[in-house]
Amino acid sequence: MKDKIIYKSNSFSINLFVFFLGFIFFSLMIVLSYSSLEQHSDTDSKIALYIIDSGFLLFALGSLFYFLKTQVIKITHNDLIVSYQFLPFSRKISLEDIMGFKQIPRPVKYSKGFEKQKTVYTIFETFIILKNGKKIRTYALDDFEFREVRKLVEKIKRKEGNVEVNRLTTGEFVFQNLSMILFLIICLFLIAGLSNALINNS
Q: Summarize pLDDT for 142-199 with one digit per residue, the tens.
A: 888 898 899 899 888 888 777 777 776 667 666 666 666 777 777 788 778 777 776 7
Rounded to an integer, what distance in angstroms lies between the CA atom of residue 12 and that of residue 145? 13
**Phi/psi of residue 54, each to 5°?**
-65, -40
Task: Please give the tally of structural domains in the chain.
Answer: 1
- Please name the residues in contact with 155: beta carbons below 8 A apart, sequence gap of 6 or more: 162, 163
Measured from the Cβ of residue 54, the count of other Cβ atoms closer than 10 Å reads 10
Residues spanned by the domain of 137: 7-201
* CA dist list (Å): 25 to 37, 88, 104: 19, 27, 28
Q: At 129, is the pLDDT very low, low, confident or very high (cuts 50, 70, 90)?
A: very high
Residue 1 inside a domain? The answer is no
Residue 79 inside a domain? The answer is yes
Q: At 119, is the pLDDT very low, low, confident or very high (cuts 50, 70, 90)?
A: low
Q: What value does the mean pLDDT take over residues 129-136?
A: 92
Residue 2 inside a domain? The answer is no
Share of the chain above pLDDT 70, in %: 80
2-16, 68-82, 176-190: the lowest-pLDDT one: 176-190
Q: What value does the mean pLDDT take over residues 66-93?
A: 90
More confident residue, 108 or 90: 90
Confidence (pLDDT) at 2: 62
5-14, 92-101, 151-160: the lowest-pLDDT one: 5-14
Choose among 135, 154, 142: nearest CA to 104. Answer: 142
pTM of structure: 0.73
Evaluate whether 121 touches 143 at the Cβ level (below 8 Å): no
Q: Which residues of 145-170 are buried (b: 16+ CB within 10 A; e: fewer)?
A: bbebbbebbeebeeeeeeeeeeebee
Confidence (pLDDT) at 19: 85
Rounded to an integer, what distance in angstroms lies between the CA atom of residue 70 and that of residue 81? 14
Residue 143 inside a domain? The answer is yes
Residue 35 inside a domain? The answer is yes
Measured from the Cβ of residue 201, the count of other Cβ atoms closer than 10 Å reads 11
